[in-house]
Structure 1
Amino acid sequence: MKVLITGGNRGIGQAIANVYRDAGETVIATARDTSGDAKLDVTDPESHRHLAQALTGEPLDLLVCNAGVYLDKGQKLDDGFAPELWADMFAVNVTGVFLTIQSLLPSLRMALAPKIAIISSQMASQERAPGGSYIYRASKAAALNLGRNLATDLQVEDIAVGIYHPGWVRTDMGGGTADIDVDEAARGLKSRFEALSVETTGCFETWDGRAHPF
């Protein structure tokens, strides 16, 4: 089994890469720099082309779109949330997800039961809207919507798409007071990815298997 994880050089992405390596799977963990197994800037179409070319002719069983940024933490409504933050965060959290999937579709189509996992967040939920972090929430909601629509289009090709909340995890992004560590999140997510199928495509689930409200 071959697994590719974007943003796989630290945090949750690195932990997911480790649990698959421990299971004996072939893992490609990408990063914007040389700290990963392969270099990928998810905002750069040329970077996507290079990675796709490197994988030409190789089936990809699982693509985990994990790379993401949270740049508006602590911003104030009256004077924060600058336009550049909107552009930068959507470039990574939304457009980057789409470009990754689009560029790697040829390799996914070569696998027997290909799957795509999109790491979104509970902050994408429309039902749970406590305010603040407007750009991050909007970008993760857009990633959720993207995943739901891709699930519809790719179901006819037997490519399953799942969207996941990884939990509130103790990382640089989640902070030191978060609920769970990266290893617990990664193990739970691996179980979710294994349960994903064409029959459950389009699901929005938590790391521990609960259906998340949209």
Structure 2
Amino acid sequence: MTVLITGANRGVGAALLARYRKSGTAAMGTSRKPVGDLLALDVTDPASHTALARRLNGLPISLLICNAGVYPDKGQTLEKGYPAALWAATFATNVTGVFLTIQALLPNLRAGHGKVAILSSQMASQSLAPGGSYIYRASKAAALNLGRNLAADLAPEGIAVGIYHPGWVQTDMGGPGATISPKQSVEGLCERFAALGPETTGCFEEWDGTPIPF
């Protein structure tokens, strides 16, 4: 089994990479500015995706975890916040970046009879809409929609796609007031990813397996 995790330089991505490696799984991580043995990938740059695919050279991938993401609109006000440039930059990472990653590595997934996990958020749910964080919510809703449609298109090939909320995690993004540790999140997520298959493709779940309303 070979796992590739985007955005593995910190937070949940780094915790997932460490968890898989600790279990003896062959796992690789990417970062926009890689350190150590992380692979270079700027998810907003098509040329970077091409370079990564060339470097992997057809390596079969069993599980692709699209984790790279940003949440830049915390504290923005409805009256004067949410500038257009922030919308564009967020969608480039949280939505287009996910699509480009899957598109570039589709031959690797086919070779590995693999599956795809997209880390979205419960904030993507239109049923759970308390307001605020408009850019982040919209981008994660788009990532959810993307995942659901990819699940439909890739089902005939046996490539399952799941969309997951990692929880409110004690990371730089989640902050110190978050409710669960990275270890709790990744243990649950790894169970979800292992359970992902043709019967559950297109699922939208919490880290602990609780279904999230669309």
| TM-score, normalised via structure 1 length | 0.98
1:126 alignment partner in structure 2? 126
How far is 1:181 from its partner?
A: 0.8
Tell me by how many angstroms 1:37 deviates: 1.4
Task: Check the 8 A contact 2:117/2:162 in 1, yes or no.
Answer: yes
The secondary structure found in structure 2 opposite 1:135 is: helix
1:190 aligns to what? 190
Q: Which residue of 1 aligns with 2:87?
A: 86
Counterpart in the other structure of 2:101: 100
Deviations 1:79-117 (A, max 9, x none): 0000000000000000000000000000000013x1100
Secondary structure of residue in 2 paired with 1:64: strand
Mapped partners of 2:57, 2:23: distance in 1: 25
The amino acid of 1:107's aligned partner reads N
Shift of 1:34: 2.0
The code of the aligned residue for 2:91 comes to F
Partner Cα distance (2:16, 2:41) in 1:
17
Matched with 2:56 is 55
Unaligned runs of 5+ in 2: none
Which residue in the other structure is 2:9 paired with? 9
1:1-214 aligned within 5 A: 1-35=1-35, 37-112=38-113, 114-214=114-214
Moved over 2 A (4+): none
Deviation digits for residues 52-103 of structure 1, max 9, x if unmatched? Answer: 0111231000000000000000000000000000000000000000000000
Separation (CA, whole Å) in 1 of partners of 2:137 and 2:2: 31
The one-letter code matched in structure 1 to 2:38 is D
SS at match of 2:153: helix
Partners of 1:61 and 1:133 in 2: how far apart? Answer: 34
Q: Distance in 2 between matches of 1:22 and 1:149?
A: 33
User: CA RMSD of the aligned region, Å?
Assistant: 0.7
**Unmatched tracts of structure 1, length 5 or more:** none
